[in-house]
Structure 1
Amino acid sequence: MKKKLLIIGFVWPEPKSSAAGSRMLQLVEQFQNQGYAITFSSAAKTSANTYDLSSIDVETRPILLNDSSFDAFIRDLQPKAVLFDRFMTEEQYGWRVAEQCPNALRILDTEDFHGLRKAREVALKQNEDVSIKHLQNAITKREIASMYRCDLSLIISEAEMDILISQFKIDKNLLYYLPFLLNAISEDDIKQLPNFKARRHFITIGNFLHAPNYDAVLYLKQTIWPLIRQQLPKAELHIYGAYESQKVLQLNNKNEGFLIKGYVEDLNEVMQNAKVCLAPLRFGAGLKGKLIDAMQNGTPCVMSDIAAEGMFGELETNGFVKVDAEAFVEKVILLYKNSEIWEQKQQIGFEVLSQRFDKTNFESDFAKIIAELSNNLNACRENNFIGQLLMYQSMQSTKYMSKWIEEKNR
């Protein structure tokens, strides 16, 4: 009989709507390759964009918040391991997992460091540089507590690994760097991509429910795009993303070439038609799926330092990194007009994908880490006294609050 993995999702995966959805399917593949039979559960509602997990042999099970029915469900399932999708699900269900399946390996997939993203958002609003006072926010405290309560936390960005270890002194044995895990791009696939002359206009993408994406679109609208249009009066910016609201749609202006396109079924097609991808994110964390999509489709980027963080390591970027608006626009125009530089940056993007995100570079080591933790779980937990302390203290309040809510809802 196969060993079982339960994934508790904050939402149901939507790989065409968000990088988080793609990341989740990458993790599913890794655990299936390690011999796990997977059940995916979530208390969230499904949508038209929800991925059909049954198509990849993953069972699904809706669950409820603050309801003891989950206890019976996981007790019957008896998973060998449980993967929490973001710290919020660990807060809700971690104590139930620990009570019903104390010997199950508990893994947290952070997706990104939410506390860091919040710190940057607050600092931006206050027009200040990010400092330790911003980092030590309530979300950071909750998230790091969740990391300690788990046996292993998957960190998607090397920059976040460094912050967690250097700034917050987290034991590095509790953390594991695991970026996007991608299939290699063949030379034949690269040759099929549209060349410089075949492409037109600009593109930016991102789920509009994600605050950094909406802020970036506003920044483009108010600051960046008017400067670009002064030099390229016939250029258009095509803005794609799921869940566009009325406040997003009202930004559309055909006369300005600022076009809200919304959800797109085939992102690769529209990315391949664009000449340059713009990613002027002013806050955020983790790795940016939009940059991965751009590199996979041979589309060079101009981006902020926040967007570029953790993506390139010691390698060059597939474009330019600029923070100041005028310098940003200068590089946009250069990349848009200069075919030689454009082709150089496109090639660098392929090299970045190959060297930093090829899944074959991570699979064996990740499988080894999971196996070692599973086989030495008690010893690993004995070395994590803070985790034991937090499980004993903080989860008791979560537990009894949940039980109170459950009784209140009867």
Structure 2
Amino acid sequence: MQQTLLILGFVWPEPFSSAAGSRMMQLISIFKSENFSITFASACAKTDNASDLKALGIEQVAIELNASSFDDFIVKLQPDVVLFDRFMTEEQYGWRVADQCPNALRILDTEDLHGLRKGRQQAFKDEQPFDYSYLNNDTAKREIASIYRCDLSLIISEAEQEILTQFFKVDDSLLYYLPFLLEPLSEESINNLAQFNERQHFVTIGNFLHPPNYQSVLYLKKSIWPLLQHQLPEAELHIYGAYASEKVYQLHSDKDKFLIKGYAEKVTEVMQRAKVCLAPLQFGAGLKGKLIDAMNNGTPCVMSSIAAEGMFGTSEANGFITDNLSDIVDSAIALYTNETLWDDAHKKGFNIINTRFQLKDFQSDFIQMLNDLQSILNKHRQGNFIGQMLQHHSLQSTKFMSKWIEEKHRKS
């Protein structure tokens, strides 16, 4: 019997604008291959960059916040599985799903740990080294509560799974490691990529609505690029990213060859032309789509430890990992000028893609786990007492706040 999946999106997926958009399309691909009937619903306005889900046979539904019309919608749909895109979506709709479709399997795709990112951002603002005390923030408390209220949460990074189990003491039964899910790189496609002497310039890329990306560009502008340009005066830095604001474009300088390019229509072409990718993120969480794009296209990277987190496992990186300013500059120059070093890093990226993130290595186990969980759902929930407690108490405040807002809108 065909199962029905409802995805509640915080935003409509934009796979060419953000790693989160790519991630969502990967999850959709898994469920489509398993013949799920899929509905994607969101209260967010759709942009021109959003994927045409209808063309993929996916029903698209615009829903409202704080509106009982959602109850009517989900009762009619009767999904077997509900996937929340980020914890904020679960906060808004989780109680309605639990009320109207109590037997539906509730899954949270965390994308990355927002509480971890917020904590690192605060440590950066405080000019202090990050430690676990920074995880005691309101975002983390909301996020962990959402994880407990769901039957399962998808974790994109092994490092984040360790934080959840070791620091927050979340039981393993509520978590499932599911990283980026990619197709293998063939030898033919690898051999067709541009080589060292066919490439030029540096590149960085990232959605500018994401604070870590903007801060990274500021770091490049103020600290890294002046030193690099002094050593490599003919090189340019090409900065790509969706939703660049006026303050981003004000960083553009033809004189300094610091070039804000805006939205990349074809990321593969951008990466294949570049000689080195720079990813000096100073805070953040999750897996970085820019590194996947670089490795897929044979572009070595110089990256911070935060950018590299969860990406390489026990394998060697496709370049250099460092947080020291002078080492960042020296590593970038070495990759840019040393063909032997560049070629070694170029090849290591292909190895990472083909050994750590293969769709075939995760898909069947993931679907089998969901089937097993559905068969013991009541027992699974009984074992999650904290989740039951949060459903009973804390979510009531969200529920009645939503009802109050709905009533207020009705009377206004």
Q: Which of the five TM-score ranges fits, normalised by the shorter chain? A: over 0.9
Segments of structure 1 that go 5 or more residues without pairing to the other structure are none
Aligned to 2:45: 45
2:145 aligned with 1:145: yes
Aligned to 2:73: 73
State the secondary structure of the residue aligned to 2:107: strand
Q: Counterparts of 1:164 and 1:257 in 2: how far apart (Å)?
A: 43
Q: Counterparts of 2:408 and 2:190 in 1: how far apart (Å)?
A: 58
Aligned to 2:163: 163
Q: Counterparts of 1:50 and 1:255 in 2: how far apart (Å)?
A: 35
2:254 aligned with 1:257: no
Aligned to 1:90: 90
Q: Counterparts of 1:27 and 1:372 in 2: how far apart (Å)?
A: 19
Letter in 2 for 1:151: D
Aligned to 1:377: 377
Letter in 2 for 1:227: L
Shift of 1:34: 2.4
Shift of 1:228: 0.2
State the secondary structure of the residue aligned to 1:336: helix
Letter in 1 for 2:207: N
Aligned to 1:271: 271
Please list, as runs of the form range in 1=range in 2, the aligned pairs for 1:181-200 lying within 5 A after superposition.
181-200=181-200
Q: Counterparts of 1:81 and 1:48 in 2: how far apart (Å)?
A: 28
In percent, how many aligned pairs have the same letter?
A: 61
Q: Counterparts of 1:147 and 1:314 in 2: how far apart (Å)?
A: 28
2:409 aligned with 1:409: yes
State the secondary structure of the residue aligned to 1:254: coil
Aligned to 2:124: 124
Letter in 2 for 1:65: L
Q: Counterparts of 2:126 and 2:266 in 1: how far apart (Å)?
A: 38
Aligned to 2:354: 354
Shift of 1:55: 1.7
Aligned to 1:394: 394
Aligned to 2:222: 222
Letter in 1 for 2:246: Q
Shift of 1:129: 1.4
Please list, as runs of the form range in 1=range in 2, the aligned pairs for 1:202-351 lying within 5 A after superposition.
202-351=202-351
Q: Counterparts of 2:270 and 2:3 in 1: how far apart (Å)?
A: 41
Shift of 1:133: 2.1
Q: Counterparts of 1:373 and 1:394 in 2: how far apart (Å)?
A: 25
Shift of 1:32: 1.7
Q: Counterparts of 1:112 and 1:262 in 2: how far apart (Å)?
A: 24
Residue deviations 1:338-374, cap 9 Å, x none? 0011010011000001110011111111011111111
Q: Counterparts of 1:85 and 1:409 in 2: how far apart (Å)?
A: 26
State the secondary structure of the residue aligned to 2:223: helix
Q: Counterparts of 1:135 and 1:315 in 2: how far apart (Å)?
A: 28
State the secondary structure of the residue aligned to 1:323: coil
Shift of 1:132: 2.6
Shift of 1:375: 1.1
TM-score by length of 2: 0.99
Q: Counterparts of 1:41 and 1:389 in 2: how far apart (Å)?
A: 28
Shift of 1:143: 0.1
Aligned to 1:108: 108
Q: Counterparts of 2:36 and 2:378 in 1: how far apart (Å)?
A: 21
Aligned to 1:134: 134
Deviating 4+ runs (over 6 angstroms): none
